[in-house]
Amino acid sequence: MTLHRIEHFSNRGEVSTIASKTLGEAPVFHDNVFVHDCYIGSWTEIGVNTQIVESTLDDYSYAVGDNQIIYSKIGKFSNIASHVRINPGNHPIERVTLHHITYRRKLYGMAEDDAAFFDWRREHRCVIGHDTWLGHNVIIMPGVTVGNGAVVGSGAIVTHDVEPYTIVVGVPARPLRRRFPQAISDALERIAWWDWEHETLKTRMDDLLNVESFVEKYG
């Protein structure tokens, strides 16, 4: 597949809902989507009222809508529910004032912006693995990695890394249980089915329905 470089895109004309049209090599953007300096994969879809900035959204991943994503790397087959926020802004609590006047100085006629502050934010990227599910209203804090196959329950605030194939819930997010036994999780990581070509996925689609037989066949 190809990651499409999108320097800047803003759309206010497409009002259909997510999963309402056939996807393809070109990403699908819905109404009021803003994309800036991103790499977006094929078979992807970004729902209404979503902003995605300086990030990667790899093949087959989608964001349902009302999402804010910045400085993040999102893998393939990621399922991002509505109102998910990935890498929200931090205020510098060690300064005299919490207000963004100290780093967004141009807004107030105060010379140049604080470039070091924004560089720090870029360095603390979020990484969302392949085949992940972020439930409604999830917040992924700066610098957090969510492992392959992990699930983040609705409303969770994730402040620490999430292990692969683990379900986390709550505020702050804590492990609830593993999706599969360790041996199966390890086998799925080795198989890395998310890297299969589109035609291969098509011919093996039924195999994806049962994890035990899938691992036995391809592991």
Could you give the CA distance from residue 39 to residue 47 in angstroms, rounded to a whole number? 16
Could you give the CA distance from residue 103 to residue 118 in angstroms, rounded to a whole number? 8
> How many CA atoms lie less than 13 Å away from 178 in the CB half-sphere?
10
Chain center to CA of 19: 17
Residue of 4, 36, 83, 91 marked active site? 91
> How many CA atoms lie less than 13 Å away from 128 in the CB half-sphere?
36
- Check if 4 is active-site: no
Whether the CB-CB separation of 212 and 181 falls below 8 Å is answered with no
> Dihedral (C-alpha) 76, 38, 12, 85: value to the nearest 10 degrees?
60
Q: Which sequence positions are flagged as catalytic?
A: 91
